[in-house]
Amino acid sequence: MFNKESRDLLYLNSSDTPSVLLNEMGAAGWDVRLASNLDSAANIIDKYSPQVAIAQFDGSKKSLTAPDEDFFRNANSLEWVALIPKEDIHRGHIKQVVRESFFDFHTLPPAPDKLLTTLGHAYGMAAMRLDDVDLRGMPHIVEDEMVGASPQMLELFRNIRKVAGVDAPVLITGESGTGKELAALALHERSNRKDRPFVAVNCGALPNGLIQSELFGHEKGAFTGASQCKIGRIEAAAGGTIFLDEIGDLPLELQVNLLRFLQEKTIERVGSTAKISVNVRVIAATHVDLEAAVAEGRFREDLYYRLNVLKIKTPALRDRQGDVEVLAKYFFEKFSNEKRRNVKGFSPAALQLMNRYTWPGNVRELISHVRRAMVMCEKRLIGPEDLDINRRKKSRAIVTLEGVRCAAEKEAIQNELQTSKSNLSEISQNLGVSRATLYRLIQKYGLNFKPELLDRSL
């Protein structure tokens, strides 16, 4: 944070600055750095990194040049305060650049006490902005654009670091838009394979007739249109990582070939019987319940266990305590080149709305709303109306069969644990499940129970 004993202030003025004003600012704790032109101002910014600056407009200069305007618009790290001759307030160029790039303005000559108050407010706004920058700079906050400080994200970061160094297959689960590919990329970049290829394949986006050719490649003449030999995605990732996104959408007939590759580490191109050894790490991801898919015969059980050696789950945004505001500010900075120049951040009401919204589209949806608001906002701070979040949709619960089942299981077990004095064996009989299943569900939902409920036969 800022050192209250030394507050640097850039004063850009091509004419003489009144000594009385300089003395007033010095007495208030400002260390004033004078600049007579844009080049000297840029040097002061580079050397001292002031957070607040004054630009005094010369009354003899009836308009600003393009370089003048670009300088103020690009110096986003400062809160600018303008001093303007009263007769020039309504001049087009000056009015536009002050409206778009300045925190506030005063007419010349300024009242020192009012100017000092404005400088103090500008300094406070700069401090709030710096808090956001410090937050993003913390080591655990941003990891390959996986942004968050919630317990759920810190746990995800720890798990990524744990499994990154081994070559065993990893299955990443989580809802759409939660950053499964970013997690896969983080695993790759922390592995011994980081200098080799990372090849991502969306199994759900490939036409059924081309999946085998895309994954394993084909020989020239293997089928109509195969005019030359083609290396498949798996072979292209040799030495590195193949990321199979939406693995649950892979057709059953192709699952056999993938299983064979995982077992033998060899592939056969379409149209050939020659086996090609490929050293590659496999990371798969899905938003569907593969255990349910196995039970329904839509996914091979043996392939599921081959892929599910190590498992990582990316949490839904609605479950990440406190991360919505961190993410919104991060993406505001990331896409700052797209925003209107006068937009400086989010209003408290906008942040409150975002924190209350359930984000069914997760981080991907948040990015979409933030980018839209940055373009559409006409005020200094983004308001709720700029986010275009449907209020009716906000209050509607996102219901899935899996969610209903999990909620029912959790509620039933909670009721038994709270009201029953029996041990887990009797509770499991009441619920119609085995004791081992009951214990697993208790751990899954993070439920509290008394140790004395455990019986020796468990």
Residue 130 has pLDDT above 60, yes or no: no
**Residue 248 to residues 155, 300, 361, 444, Cα–Cα distance (Å):** 25, 10, 19, 22
Q: Which residue has the higher pLDDT, 304 or 227?
A: 304
Q: Determine the pLDDT at residue 10.
A: 93
Q: Where in the chain is the domain with CATH 3.40.50.300?
A: 145-313
In terms of average pLDDT, the best of 248-257, 302-311, 441-450 is 302-311
CB 356 within 8 A of CB 396: no
CA 109 to CA 86: how far, in whole Å? 9
Q: Determine the pLDDT at residue 394.
A: 43
Q: How confident is the model at residue 305 (pLDDT cuts 50, 70, 90)?
A: very high
Instruction: Write the DSSP symbol of residue 91.
Output: -
Residue 30 has pLDDT above 60, yes or no: yes
- Reading the block at residue 386, the tokens are 């700029």
- Reading the block at residue 27, the tokens are 């007495």
What's this model's pTM, rounded to 2 decimal places?
Answer: 0.59
Q: Determine the pLDDT at residue 142.
A: 42
Does the domain at 7-137 match CATH 3.40.50.2300? Answer given as yes
Cα 151–Cα 155–Cα 160 angle in degrees, nearest 5 = 150
Residue 99 has pLDDT above 70, yes or no: yes
Q: How confident is the model at residue 134 (pLDDT cuts 50, 70, 90)?
A: very low
Q: DSSP 3-state helix, strand, coil percentages of the chain (rounded to 5)?
A: 50, 15, 35
Pick the CATH number of 401-453 from 1.10.10, 3.40.50, 3.90.1690, 1.10.8: 1.10.10
Q: Determine the pLDDT at residue 450.
A: 59
Q: What is the pLDDT of residues 67-94, one digit of tens each?
A: 577 788 666 668 889 998 888 887 777 7
User: E strands of 41-127, at which residues?
Assistant: 52-56, 79-85, 104-108
Q: What is the pLDDT of residues 166-176, one digit of tens each?
A: 999 999 999 99
CB 454 within 8 A of CB 423: yes
| Domain formed by 145-313, architecture | 3-Layer(aba) Sandwich (3.40)
In terms of average pLDDT, the best of 17-26, 347-356, 408-417 is 347-356
Residue 456 has pLDDT above 60, yes or no: no
CB 154 within 8 A of CB 328: no
Q: Which residue has the higher pLDDT, 248 or 456?
A: 248
Q: Determine the pLDDT at residue 458.
A: 40
Q: Determine the pLDDT at residue 22.
A: 87
CA 316 to CA 78: how far, in whole Å? 36
Q: Which residue has the higher pLDDT, 127 or 455?
A: 127
Closest residue by Cα to residue 233 from 254, 248, 218 = 218
For 224, other C-beta atoms within 10 Å of its C-beta total 6
Residue 311 has pLDDT above 50, yes or no: yes
Q: How confident is the model at residue 286 (pLDDT cuts 50, 70, 90)?
A: very high
Q: Determine the pLDDT at residue 402.
A: 67
- Reading the block at residue 49, the tokens are 């990194």
Q: Where in the chain is the domain with CATH 3.40.50.2300?
A: 7-137
3-state class (DSSP) for residue 196: coil
* Mean pLDDT, range 352-381, rounded to an integer: 92
271 — alpha (psi -120 to 50), left (phi > 0) or beta?
left
What are the residues facing 284 on neighbouring strands?
Answer: 171, 244
Mean of the per-residue pLDDT values of the chain: 82
The mean-pLDDT minimum among 4-13, 84-93, 139-148, 327-336 falls in 139-148
Residue 42 has pLDDT above 60, yes or no: yes
Phi, psi at 41, each rounded to 5°: -65, -40
Name which CATH class applies to 325-390: mainly alpha
For 103, other C-beta atoms within 10 Å of its C-beta total 21
Q: Determine the pLDDT at residue 103.
A: 84
Q: What is the pLDDT of residues 322-345, one digit of tens each?
A: 899 889 988 998 888 888 777 888
Q: Determine the pLDDT at residue 310.
A: 96
Q: Where in the chain is the domain with CATH 1.10.10?
A: 401-453
Q: Which residue has the higher pLDDT, 391 or 202?
A: 202
The mean-pLDDT minimum among 180-184, 196-200, 343-347, 443-447 falls in 443-447
Q: What is the pLDDT of residues 203-214, one digit of tens each?
A: 888 777 778 888
Burial class (CB in 10 A: 0-12, 13-18, 19+), 62: exposed
